[in-house]
Chains A and B, each alone.
Chain A
Amino acid sequence: MNIQTVINGKKISVNVKNDMRLLDFLRDELELTGTKEGCSEGECGACTVLIDGSPVNSCLVMAFQIDGKEVVTIEALDEDGNLNIIKDTFLEEGAPQCGFCMPGMVLSAKGLLDQNSNPTRSDVKEAISGNLCRCTGYTTIEDAILKSAKKLGGKNG
Chain B
Amino acid sequence: MNIADVYKAETVKECIKLLAKHKETKIISGGTDLVIKLNEGQIEGISLVDISSIKELNFVKIEGNTIHIGSNSTFSDVLNHKSIFPKSIKGFVEALESVGSPQIRNAGTIGGNICNGSPAADSIPPLIVLGAKLTIISKKRERIVDIEDFFLGKGKVDLGSNELLKSISFDIPNEDSKLNFYKYSYRNALSITLGSVAALIDIQNNIVQDIKIATGGFSAYCIREREMEELMIGKELNEENLNYLLNSAKKIVQKRIETFPNDFKVLKNITIEGALRHVIR
User: A and B: direct contact (Cβ < 8 Å)?
Assistant: yes
The one of A54, A62, A67, A126 in contact with B31, judged by C-beta atoms closer than 8 angstroms, is A62
Kindly provide the distance from the CB of B47 to the nearest chain A CB, expressed in whole angstroms: 9
With a cutoff of 8 Å between Cβ atoms, the chain A residues found around residue B3 in the complex are 18-19
Cβ of A147 under 8 Å from chain B = no
Stretch at the interface among A27-35, A38-46, A74-82, A84-92: A38-46
Q: B11-53: which residues lie under 8 A (CB-CB) from chain A?
A: 28, 30-32, 35-36, 38-39, 48, 50, 52-53
Count A-side interface residues using an 8 Å CB cutoff.
32
Contact between chains at A127 and B102 (CB < 8 Å): yes
Contact between chains at A62 and B35 (CB < 8 Å): yes
Determine the residue in chain B with the shortest Cβ distance to A65. B52
CA A60 – CA B48 in complex, angstroms? 15
Given contacts A19-B1, A21-B35, list 6 more A-B pairs with CB under 8 A.
A42-B36, A54-B106, A56-B106, A60-B32, A62-B50, A67-B53
What is the predominant secondary structure among interface residues of chain B facing chain A? mixed
Q: Write out, one digit per residue, whether chain A residues 33-73 have a CB within 8 A of any chain B CB (1) or not (0).
A: 00000001111010010010011110111101101100000
With a cutoff of 8 Å between Cβ atoms, the chain A residues found around residue B50 in the complex are 62, 64-65
Q: Write out, one digit per residue, whether chain A residues 97-132 have a CB within 8 A of any chain B CB (1) or not (0).
A: 000000000001001000000000000001101111
The one of B36, B76, B100, B189 in contact with A54, judged by C-beta atoms closer than 8 angstroms, is B76
CA A101 – CA B72 in complex, angstroms? 30
Q: Write out, one digit per residue, whether chain B residues 217-253 have a CB within 8 A of any chain A CB (1) or not (0).
A: 0000000000000000000000000000000000000
Count B-side interface residues using an 8 Å CB cutoff.
30
Q: How many A-B residue pairs have CB under 8 A?
A: 91
With a cutoff of 8 Å between Cβ atoms, the chain A residues found around residue B2 in the complex are 19
Give me the interface of B with A, judged by CB distance under 8 Å: 1-6, 8, 28, 30-32, 35-36, 38-39, 48, 50, 52-53, 76, 100-104, 106-107, 188-190
Given contacts A59-B39, A130-B189, A130-B190, contact A45 B103 (CB under 8 A): yes
Give me the interface of A with B, judged by CB distance under 8 Å: 1, 18-21, 40-43, 45, 48, 51, 54-57, 59-62, 64-65, 67-68, 108, 111, 126-127, 129-132
Contact between chains at B188 and A1 (CB < 8 Å): no
With a cutoff of 8 Å between Cβ atoms, the chain B residues found around residue A43 in the complex are 190
With a cutoff of 8 Å between Cβ atoms, the chain A residues found around residue B100 in the complex are 42, 130
Kindly provide the distance from the CB of A52 to the nearest chain B CB, expressed in whole angstroms: 9
Kindly provide the distance from the CB of B105 to the nearest chain A CB, expressed in whole angstroms: 9
Kindly provide the distance from the CB of A44 to the nearest chain B CB, expressed in whole angstroms: 9
